[in-house]
Structure 1
């Protein structure tokens, strides 16, 4: 069970990263910068809510 879960997480991460790179390559530099800013803000908010930092 644990092994299948880890394999699924790794496969999902690879697919997600590939889709993200493809999407970013089709954006204008301005859109890319805005998306990175939004993503960074969302990541820090999630980490703050979980109490990691």
Structure 2
């Protein structure tokens, strides 16, 4: 039950984050857009590294 609730929250949070990101990109200048895309790529890389580190300890 608890795991199901966690997954529901993760999915809802992801959808909300994507929606906010798309809105922000549509309302920004090209220079701001490039900066947002770079930050997003950096965050994705860091998240992947964290997930790999967590898997390594199992």
Q: Normalising TM by the smaller chain, what interval?
A: 0.7 to 0.9
In the aligned structure 1, how far is the partner of 2:51 from the partner of 2:13? 25
1:14 maps onto 2:15 in alignment? yes
In the alignment, structure 1 segments of 5+ residues that lack a partner are none
Matched length: 50
In the alignment, structure 2 segments of 5+ residues that lack a partner are 53-58
TM-score (norm 2): 0.68
Q: CA RMSD in A?
A: 1.8
TM-score (norm 1): 0.73
Of structures 1 and 2, the one with the larger relative CO (CA 8 A, separation 6+) is 2
In the aligned structure 2, how far is the partner of 1:43 from the partner of 1:2? 23
2:30 maps to 29
